[in-house]
Amino acid sequence: MTTPVSSMVLVVVGSFIGSFGAVLLKAGAGRLSRSVRSVVTNWRLGIGVAAYGLSSVFFVLATTRGELTILYPLVSLGYLWTLIWAKLFFNEPLTKFKFFGVGLILAGVFMLKLSTG
Q: Which residues form the interface with another protein (CB under 8 A)?
A: 19, 22-23, 25-26, 28-30, 32, 45, 49, 76, 78-79, 82-83, 85-87, 90, 92-95, 97-98, 100-116
Task: Give min distance, CB of 96 to another protein, in A.
Answer: 10
Q: What does each C-alpha distance from 113 to 58, 81, 99, 116 come to in angstroms?
A: 19, 21, 21, 5
Task: Give min distance, CB of 81 to another protein, in A.
Answer: 10
Task: Give min distance, CB of 64 to another protein, in A.
Answer: 13
Interacting residues of 29 by C-beta distance below 8 A, sequence separation 6+: 45
Q: Which is nearer to another protein, 7 or 19 (CB)?
A: 19
Q: Which is nearer to another protein, 28 or 66 (CB)?
A: 28
Amino acid at 39: V
Using alpha carbons, select from 22, 45, 24 the residue that is nearest to residue 33. 45
Q: CA-to-CA distance for 107 and 56, rounded, in angstroms? A: 22
Q: Which is nearer to another protein, 2 or 116 (CB)?
A: 116
